Amino acid sequence: MAIFKVNRKETAPIDGQKPGTSGLRKKVVVFKQPNYLHNFVQSTFNALATDKVKGATIVVSGDGRYFSKDAIQIIVKMAAANGVRRVWVGKDGLLSTPAVSAVIRERVGADGSKASGAFILTASHNPGGPHEDFGIKYNMENGGPAPEAITDKIYANTKTIKEYFIAEDLPDVDISTIGVTSFSGPEGNFDVDVFDSAEDYVKLMKTIFDFQSIQKLLSSPKFSFCYDALHGVAGAYANRIFVEELGAKESSLINCTPKEDFGGGHPDPNLTYAKELVARMGLGKSSPQGEVPEFGAAADGDADRNMILGKRFFVTPSDSVAIIAANAVQAIPYFASGLKGVARSMPTSAALDVVAKNLNLKFFEVPTGWKFFGNLMDAGLCSVCGEESFGTGSDHIREKDGIWAVLAWLSILAFKNKDNINGESLVSVEDIVRQHWATYGRHYYTRYDYENVDAAAAKELMANLVKLQASLPEVNKIISGIRSDVSNVVEADEFEYKDPVDGSVSKHQGIRYLFADGSRLVFRLSGTGSEGATIRLYIEQYEKDSSNIGRDSQDALAPLVDVALKLSKMQEFTGRSAPTVIT
């Protein structure tokens, strides 16, 4: 057994290591600076309770983006030096974010060991490669992202750090081969256990869904399916679940080989970036006229996000979570005994609210960021939740889950078609969504993103919107000067949330303008970008009248968009005449 020593290295604080919505995300060149990663990792170890480090088991893996393999070796050596007992690594360093959450919660080592936390190496949906983004975040024992109390502590530590510990003579571990490598250090043994990335996750999915009924749907000659992993880590799960377990054709999978640079693409599952899938589903500008698949889906780099598509049809994430909630009890065995409650992030449309009201479910509106759902779930208050940012999930883990969302939709399709599998035609994704709108009304919804805007300009735009909120009559005067066909603003504020479980208060979580007819405008600065600022504008309008629910959403929302852009003086402040991305 190789023996290692612990080296104490002197270091000094490096600016800008404040974790954002989802960990620390920076360009690879920033992470490659001497001591940059080391400082952050040591600051994290120092922020955790001693027993979560000394003698503990931790997980280290991620979406496989460029610099992950180097980072894993560094973290392993630092873990050894900090007295960690063992590190669990997914084969090739690959574990999707939801799979990490599942591994923390479910995996039991040969000697009964359980993980106390995980370093997840991902910048989620941001591009990867030598000139792109890398990221690191820490998840806790419940499988969810570290709460603010911990990330604040990590940040504070990065500002005072003087030393870190590393086992420099620990040899690099072969992470491409499954198996345990053991070492001996000053505090005893240290193991690195490389395991199958999909095993625990697949096991968990099988306890949630009825794989047999999904298999039956997939084997129907009338059903066809297309899954795009955008070269992210979802590929490591897609083949196993959709092809091996559920019998989908291999040709159903596109871009399912994980790549360090995501094939040069932007691994974000939306109508702009999932180009190949969008074209296949008949939604592109030059899309095929003929047959297209019945169902399509995509994931982001670390496979926690999802996009759901039908034949020539886009399901908004806000509708998706509402429809899953409305059908969960009948279609998904895990929920058979009922939903404990449902939740959405503030900028997500109110489609879920209507379902909650109709089904008499507990309902929560939380700030953007999955960690807020985690608290509700730990307290047994929430079963299903979702965000407009293509995140959907449930209390089976403490992260959003891209493949879970696809299995949920396949379950709903299987359920709706259970007596119809040999019928003339199947109940389609579009049928399900239209039926939902007919029952609950439709929330027209769109999001405009202005990426990499000058940070000071973005701040000024937001400050101006807050200032305007002081006088609603003034706001309404401005609006009526812009459009006469938009209703009045009846309330305007900055969203603030008091966590019902731990009582913590989160302020400044987005600027809201609420209209008399239920429409909403929301402005927020993104917490996940790595350069400049990204302004997000969320526009929503509720339509109950069933004769008005079939419109094109951009047409339906045009008046509100006009108001939002002029009220915020978007072009004046940012110099942008158009958004970078519309979803």
Q: Which residues contact 374 (CB under 8 A, 6 or more apart)?
A: 142, 144, 145, 398
Which one of residues 132, 268, 302, 543 is an interface residue with Zn ion (CB under 5 A)? 302
Query: By rule CB under 6 A, what count of residues binds ligand G6P?
Result: 14
Which one of residues 133, 304, 388, 449 is an interface residue with Zn ion (CB under 5 A)? 304
Bridging pattern class, strands 133-139 and 163-166: unpaired
Give the SS3 label for residue 429: helix
DSSP codes of every residue in 556-581: HHHHHHHHHHHHHTHHHHH--SS-SE
Least Cβ distance, residue 393 to Zn ion (angstroms): 11
Phi then psi dihedrals of residue 182, to 5 deg = -110, 145
Token pair belonging to 128: 């990867």
Q: Which stretch binds ligand G6P (CB under 6 A): 11-19, 133-141, 486-494, 522-530?
A: 522-530
**Using CB distances below 5 to 8 A depending on partner kind, what does residue 368 bind out of Zn ion, ligand G6P, none?**
ligand G6P
| Beta carbon nearer to Zn ion, 133 or 193 | 133
| Beta carbon nearer to ligand G6P, 39 or 583 | 583
Distances (CA, A) of 333 to 404, 416, 436: 13, 15, 21
| Beta carbon nearer to Zn ion, 235 or 441 | 235
Element (H, E) at 94: none
**Using CB distances below 5 to 8 A depending on partner kind, what does residue 536 bind out of ligand G6P, Zn ion, none?**
ligand G6P
Token pair belonging to 282: 């008949």
Taking CB under 5 A as the criterion, which residues in 120-139 touch Zn ion?
124
In sign, the C-alpha dihedral spanning 37, 39, 40, 44 is positive
Name residue, tokens 């990867």: 128
Catalytic residue among 124, 345, 349, 411: 124
In 3D space, the residue among 398, 387, 498, 491 whose CA is nearest the CA of residue 445 turns out to be 387
Q: Give the Cα separation of 571 and 274 in Å (integer).
A: 28
Least Cβ distance, residue 24 to Zn ion (angstroms): 15
Distances (CA, A) of 242 to 11, 41, 65, 204: 47, 36, 23, 15
Least Cβ distance, residue 69 to Zn ion (angstroms): 20
Least Cβ distance, residue 402 to ligand G6P (angstroms): 11
| Beta carbon nearer to ligand G6P, 191 or 387 | 387
**Using CB distances below 5 to 8 A depending on partner kind, what does residue 300 bind out of ligand G6P, Zn ion, none?**
Zn ion
Token pair belonging to 188: 């005893």
Q: Is 124 a catalytic residue?
A: yes
Do the beta carbons of residue 213 and residue 410 sit within 8 Å? no
| Beta carbon nearer to Zn ion, 300 or 401 | 300
**Using CB distances below 5 to 8 A depending on partner kind, what does residue 370 bind out of Zn ion, ligand G6P, none?**
ligand G6P
Least Cβ distance, residue 344 to ligand G6P (angstroms): 11
Q: Which residues pair with 232 in a beta bridge?
A: none
Q: Which stretch binds ligand G6P (CB under 6 A): 246-254, 290-298, 524-532, 575-583?
A: 524-532
Which one of residues 22, 157, 392, 530 is an interface residue with ligand G6P (CB under 6 A)? 22
| Beta carbon nearer to ligand G6P, 280 or 344 | 344
Q: Binding to ligand G6P by residue 520, rule CB under 6 A? A: no
| Beta carbon nearer to ligand G6P, 25 or 85 | 25
**Using CB distances below 5 to 8 A depending on partner kind, what does residue 527 bind out of Zn ion, ligand G6P, none?**
ligand G6P
Q: Give the Cα separation of 214 and 219 in Å (integer).
A: 9
Q: Which stretch binds Zn ion (CB under 5 A): 116-124, 325-333, 403-411, 442-450?
A: 116-124
Least Cβ distance, residue 124 to Zn ion (angstroms): 3
Q: Binding to ligand G6P by residue 252, rule CB under 6 A? A: no
Give the SS3 label for residue 275: helix
Strands (E) across 111-154 are located at 115-121, 133-139
Q: Which stretch binds Zn ion (CB under 5 A): 101-109, 210-218, 253-261, 299-307?
A: 299-307
**Using CB distances below 5 to 8 A depending on partner kind, what does residue 302 bind out of Zn ion, ligand G6P, none?**
Zn ion
Which one of residues 44, 124, 327, 530 is an interface residue with ligand G6P (CB under 6 A)? 124
Least Cβ distance, residue 102 to ligand G6P (angstroms): 16
Distances (CA, A) of 295 to 137, 198, 312, 409: 33, 23, 9, 9
Least Cβ distance, residue 153 to ligand G6P (angstroms): 20
**Using CB distances below 5 to 8 A depending on partner kind, what does residue 528 bind out of ligand G6P, Zn ion, none?**
ligand G6P
Q: Give the Cα separation of 348 and 443 in Å (integer).
A: 10
| Lateral strand order in the sheet of 57-62 | 2-3, 179-185, 188-195, 86-90, 57-62, 115-121, 133-139, 24-27
Name residue, tokens 């759901």: 308
Q: Binding to ligand G6P by residue 96, rule CB under 6 A? A: no
Q: Give the Cα separation of 492 and 98 in Å (integer).
A: 36
Least Cβ distance, residue 173 to Zn ion (angstroms): 26
Instruction: Characterize 187-223 residue by residue with b for buried, 16 or more Cβ atoms within 10 angstroms of its Cβ, and e for exposed.
Output: eeebbbbbbebbbbbbebbeebbbbebbebbbebeeb
Which one of residues 106, 294, 300, 319 is an interface residue with Zn ion (CB under 5 A)? 300
Taking CB under 6 A as the criterion, which residues in 335-394 touch ligand G6P?
345, 368-370, 387, 389, 391
Q: Binding to ligand G6P by residue 509, rule CB under 6 A? A: no
- By CB under 5 A, name the binding residues for Zn ion: 124, 300, 302, 304-305
Residue ranges binding ligand G6P (CB under 6 A):
21-22, 124, 345, 368-370, 387, 389, 391, 526-528, 536
| Active site residue ranges | 124
